[in-house]
Amino acid sequence: MVEETPPVVGTAPAVSEAPGRRDGSATLIHIATHARDEAPAGRPKETALELRNVSCWYGSFRAVKNVNLTIAKREVTALIGPSGCGKSTLLRTFNRMNDLVPSFRAEGEVLFEGKNIYDRDVDPVEIRRRIGMVFQKPNPFPKSIYENVAFGPRVNGYRGNLDELVEDCLRKAALWDEVKDKLHQSGLALSGGQQQRLCIARAIAVQPEVILMDEPASALDPRSTLQIEELMAELKREYTIIVVTHNMQQAARASDTTIFMTMDEDRAGYVVEQGDTIEIFTNPKNRLTEDYVSGRFG
């Protein structure tokens, strides 16, 4: 059998060719990423998802236009940009979560394992199992801690040992030690940071490949925020993570790749630049990116 070479993840071309400052001198962000597992030099990254000419519409309003990009497997990719530029819309396009908005329409292709998830024969429920989501505000079910994690696998007909699965997911979400003695208490009785880690445990319980996170720490205190960032660094060993954040320190600390979006006069969002996080924050190619990461705009 011939082994296929995984596709190489490329960097999306800058939309505008405005020259950026090359010395990184305007950059205020301190890059202190968690232990980065870089692919050894020369080893191509594998692609988790690919967007081809994707535009997103709410009725007659185009919220996102002509996005082409690739998301690398088992990395943290951060989506940054000013409020309203379409970050959440684009994030929700990765698992068809926008289908739940009646006026929403997507154009283009979102390829997952080479298959367009918007094809008619694709089941969006299965896509959302494989590409899970964690929301801005922690939203545990009004059930016990145990049931929050066990619910999805049970619905999906999980046949293994549920107790072991619940423990494993809570451990992976760095929550086990804090809750192991109160598994049958309500998930809603936990602190905000613990609730968000419970939601992460719930997301991984159905064995997804990708986890989408929409500002997962913006409602949390600084300590819980750091815990979530550390958790992302752990989880990327197994999962592909795409995170929307308005916190640039967080993007700099927690992500491997950063995508900067902004919007045009018509308020349609577009991707300006995608690259290694360190490059985006210290040596961006595009003036718009530089202005944003240095705090001059946005």
- Which residue has tokens 């967080």? 250
Tell me the closest approach of the beta carbon of residue 251 to ligand ADP, in angstroms.
13
Tell me the closest approach of the beta carbon of residue 250 to ligand ADP, in angstroms.
15
* Cα dihedral 202, 207, 213, 218 sign: positive
Closest CA to 152 of 125, 184, 188: 125
Tell me the closest approach of the beta carbon of residue 267 to ligand ADP, in angstroms.
6
Tell me the closest approach of the beta carbon of residue 243 to ligand ADP, in angstroms.
12
Q: Which is nearer to ligand ADP, 74 or 92 (CB)?
A: 92
Helix axes 192-205, 145-155, angle to 10 degrees: 20
- Which residue has tokens 């990116």? 289
Q: Which is nearer to ligand ADP, 22 or 267 (CB)?
A: 267
**Cα–Cα distance, 90 to 67 (Å, whole number):** 9
Spatial contact of 70 and 6, defined as CB atoms under 8 Å apart = no
Q: Which is nearer to ligand ADP, 104 or 146 (CB)?
A: 104
Spatial contact of 6 and 46, defined as CB atoms under 8 Å apart = yes
Tell me the closest approach of the beta carbon of residue 136 to ligand ADP, in angstroms.
10
* Residue 290 DSSP class: H
**Cα–Cα distance, 31 to 178 (Å, whole number):** 30
Tell me the closest approach of the beta carbon of residue 13 to ligand ADP, in angstroms.
21
Tell me the closest approach of the beta carbon of residue 79 to ligand ADP, in angstroms.
8
* Residue 79 DSSP class: E
**Cα–Cα distance, 223 to 44 (Å, whole number):** 35
Amino acid at residue number 127: I
Q: List residues near ligand ADP by CB under 6 A.
A: 58, 63, 81, 83-89, 101, 103, 267
- The three-class DSSP label of residue 260 is strand
- The three-class DSSP label of residue 120 is coil
Q: Which is nearer to ligand ADP, 76 or 183 (CB)?
A: 76
Q: Which is nearer to ligand ADP, 53 or 103 (CB)?
A: 103
